[in-house]
Structure 1
Amino acid sequence: MNVRRSAAALAAVAVIGTAAPAVAAPASSPSPSPSTAIPSGLYGSTDPKYDGVWRQSLALLAQHTAGVRPAAKAVDWLAGQQCANGAFGAFRAAPARPCDAKDAPVTVDTNSTAAAVQALAALGGHDAATGRAVSWLKSVQNKDGGWGYAAGGASDANSTSVVIGALTAVGEKPTAVLKDGKSPYDALLKLALPCSDDGAFAYQPDKKGKLAANADATAAGVVGALGQGMVARAAGKAGGAARCTDSAKPTPEQAAANGASYLAQAVAKDGYLTSVLPGATSQPDYGNTADAVVALAAQGGAAQAQKPLQWLEKHSEAWAKESGPAAYAQLVFAAHATGTDPRDFGGMDLVKALNATGPAPQAVAAKPAEHSDKKTGSGFGTWWFVGVCLVAGIGAGFLLSGRKKRHQP
């Protein structure tokens, strides 16, 4: 589930023909002056061509999670992006036109569709839309049980995981969503590496069929293997520290523990994950680190995610401000998974900052006077309780777990 590479990088991937990994579309766009006019209901100020639906879905889901009732036109914009077949693409500049228009067809994808499902399911009142979207996702499920970014593309850990989050969000059991007898978990287990390779998940096999550890895919795979989505719950006290254990017949839960063990080792020294783009030196990867916090908390509890969480609290403000709504949303998800107050995330009010990137919300839960979630490690803290009470009062429905996307093989 993630905000990661720039839209320029995604465009390059499409041009080169490389399979596009995914659980989170880009948080930032390279275009300070977008060529496309920004719709009034859309969050973010950069060109939405490659990430409009993704960033809107994350923004609305994060707002709901923090007790915010989004602006009606923001929700309407997202719902209006759906194609007649139920799928979503990255961006429809002319929603009134059919997606299959011959002169300007819309390219739909599993990640945008699954993210939109998680957001609309959480907000409530969109059963027909989410039902059509899930039906489309099922129609493009691969024979190995998983999904690729594009319909028919080779299954990858990120796309499969974000779809699992969508299925869970609408109350479906991923184990029951089968293609040729294979479930999404079967696809994930095929991408899980043994402990000799640190128990990580691969994004997808390379051209020679080999698997390589990938931190982004691992964060996505852990959450997906646990049957959760972008808004993941922290494991109970019994979760404990993750250990890598090989098995002749590994379960999704064991694969998740193995993946969490890999992530814990990866952040043990500095508290963050790194990324290296062509021609650049290694640098902190804020989006993947936020995803790792969610994965570690979901598998082993909030205590297991404290080091990367604390690093994000100290260092992520400039990144989030530059990257926009999807980045703020990822940090809200990290806060939620660890029982951290998103209105005081290292001194940053993530909710206020996220709300400021788009149309003013209809209602915002008041900041709680007292917060003690970090001490208890609870994934459902005081701020969450206040949000739930507000949502219940306005009839917006209640939260169903959801997850993300990064295009980095």
Structure 2
Amino acid sequence: MNVRRSAAVLAATVVIATAAPAIAASPSPSPALPSALYGSSDPTYDGVWRQSLALIALHRADVEPAAAAVDWLAGQQCANGAFAAYRAKPSAACDTKLMVDTNSTSAAVQALAASGDHDPAVRKAVSWLESVQNKDGGWGFAPGGASDANSTSVVIGALNASGAYISRIAKYGKSPYDALLKLALPCADGGAFAYQPDKKGKLTANADATAAAVVSVLGTGMLTVRAGDAKKAGCADASTPTWQRASANGAAYLAKAVAKDGHLTSALPGSENQPDYGNTADAVVALAAQGGTAAAAGPLRWLERNSAKWAEQSGPAAYAQLILAAKTGGADPRDFGGTDLVQRLTATGPKPRATAAPAAESRDDSDPSVWWVVGAGLAAGAGIGFLLSGRNKRKQP
């Protein structure tokens, strides 16, 4: 999931089920913004998203955020369990004119699960997500929209954080993994994942979708992703791809994509190709999750050298992405190329309550679907900056 998501939400208000990456809104400080909200730019299209990522990243960095920050996020939830991108007046009931979406809801689930004291809100949100699952087992950005790899992946992260057996979430007999595997390309096309089929059913490799899918096919998400065992990247076709093979193939595609320059590249209409910092951070997470920290070393070092200005301009979600990349890739988020990412992130929102001693990270790679028991301590409503007192017990789909 990329910090450039805000324009995707704007596009989705015009064309249902659109969730293509987009440019973050330009900063526009306003005294009218909620004091508990991270960031000073217009939150209309990314308020819940950036708040969730900030909380998740702080939790991952062992920082307990202000209770007001977590409560603000919980207060954005509609009565049916869903979240919209932002509700300026959360006291007003959600109506049919309000556009709720799977991405905001799933990010909020992971952030609230990290806090450890919003279980009813988490359960209600997960129930809503299950109710809008598509027949192919996946999810689109908006309810009823065609399934896409990014939305399906962030929902998998939410299910994982809530303690659900992901492979059993099959409203129409198809699991989320079934939906993702249908978007996996053969090795002749690089082994990547497509965002979604085009109108003719053709799949086209998409780096952002691939990074998201590699992590989620392993049954994890922003809150729970960890570096995997060291494995050499390689693509190998199979008549019926397994989740392990699809993840390995996707990682091989990403490794090749960053090999030359150390980063992924983005081309916006009417402009020259330029480094894609957000998707590169996501690629670091995917490469480390699939093949260990050594597999992500190249793009991680590139981010350490080059991402400071981008994060400063982009705000809390960017700092959060870099913290997640650092934590998964084996770097220190408090000294990331000379920048204390945690301090920079906390400076964009309310003062945190406490900083805990770093928790040991444990991992069990036996299966992609994880039953996580979220402990009551340390909340980091931080949206995934979490200290989980549970242990994952993955069940193969």
TM-score (normalised: structure 2) = 0.89
**Distance (whole Å) between structure 1 residues aligned to residue 106 and residue 316 of structure 2:** 18
**Distance (whole Å) between structure 1 residues aligned to residue 82 and residue 61 of structure 2:** 27
**Distance (whole Å) between structure 2 residues aligned to residue 26 and residue 185 of structure 1:** 26
Q: Residue 11 of structure 1: CA displacement? A: 2.4
Pick aligned residue for 1:99 from 88, 94, 97: 94
Aligned runs of 1:115-130 on 2, under 5 Å? 115-130=107-122
The question of whether the paired residues in 2 share the 8 Å contact of 1:52 and 1:90 is answered with yes
**Distance (whole Å) between structure 1 residues aligned to residue 283 and residue 176 of structure 2:** 21
Pick aligned residue for 1:195 from 181, 187, 198: 187
The question of whether the paired residues in 2 share the 8 Å contact of 1:148 and 1:160 is answered with yes
In structure 1, the gaps of 5 or more residues are 381-390, 403-409
- Structure 1 partner of 2:155: 163
The question of whether the paired residues in 2 share the 8 Å contact of 1:178 and 1:184 is answered with yes
Deviations 1:44-101 (A, max 9, x none): 000000000000000001011101110011011000000000000000000100011x
**Distance (whole Å) between structure 1 residues aligned to residue 216 and residue 307 of structure 2:** 25
- Structure 1 partner of 2:3: 3
Distance change (3 Å), C-alpha of 1:379 and 1:197: farther
Deviations 1:289-312 (A, max 9, x none): 000000000000000000000000
The question of whether the paired residues in 2 share the 8 Å contact of 1:392 and 1:398 is answered with no
Distance change (3 Å), C-alpha of 1:395 and 1:255: closer
- Structure 2 partner of 1:135: 127
Aligned: 1:233 with 2:222: no
Task: Name the aligned partner's letter for residue 228 of structure 1.
Answer: T
Calculate percent identity across the aligned residue pairs.
Answer: 66
Task: Name the aligned partner's letter for residue 43 of structure 1.
Answer: Y
Q: Residue 149 of structure 1: CA displacement? A: 0.2
Aligned: 1:54 with 2:49: yes
- Structure 2 partner of 1:310: 301
Q: Residue 253 of structure 1: CA displacement? A: 1.3
**Distance (whole Å) between structure 2 residues aligned to residue 340 and residue 308 of structure 1:** 12
- Structure 2 partner of 1:30: 26
Pick aligned residue for 2:165 from 173, 183, 187: 173
**Distance (whole Å) between structure 1 residues aligned to residue 16 and residue 40 of structure 2:** 28
Q: Residue 392 of structure 1: CA displacement? A: 8.3
The question of whether the paired residues in 2 share the 8 Å contact of 1:26 and 1:51 is answered with no
Task: Name the aligned partner's letter for residue 338 of structure 1.
Answer: G
The question of whether the paired residues in 2 share the 8 Å contact of 1:113 and 1:133 is answered with yes
**Distance (whole Å) between structure 1 residues aligned to residue 11 and residue 378 of structure 2:** 44
- Structure 1 partner of 2:245: 254
Q: Secondary structure at the match of 1:303?
A: helix
- Structure 2 partner of 1:384: none
**Distance (whole Å) between structure 2 residues aligned to residue 205 and residue 39 of structure 1:** 39
**Distance (whole Å) between structure 2 residues aligned to residue 394 and residue 142 of structure 1:** 35
Aligned runs of 1:315-326 on 2, under 5 Å? 315-326=306-317
Deviations 1:344-368 (A, max 9, x none): 0111100000000001111124799
The question of whether the paired residues in 2 share the 8 Å contact of 1:118 and 1:169 is answered with yes
Structure 1 segments (4+ residues) deviating >2 Å = 7-15, 25-28, 30-34, 364-368, 391-402
Task: Name the aligned partner's letter for residue 20 of structure 1.
Answer: T
Distance change (3 Å), C-alpha of 1:366 and 1:168: closer
TM-score (normalised: structure 1) = 0.86
Q: Secondary structure at the match of 1:121?
A: helix
Q: Residue 281 of structure 1: CA displacement? A: 0.8
Task: Name the aligned partner's letter for residue 24 of structure 2.
Answer: S
Count residues with an aligned counterpart.
Answer: 374
- Structure 1 partner of 2:199: 207
Q: Residue 173 of structure 1: CA displacement? A: 1.4
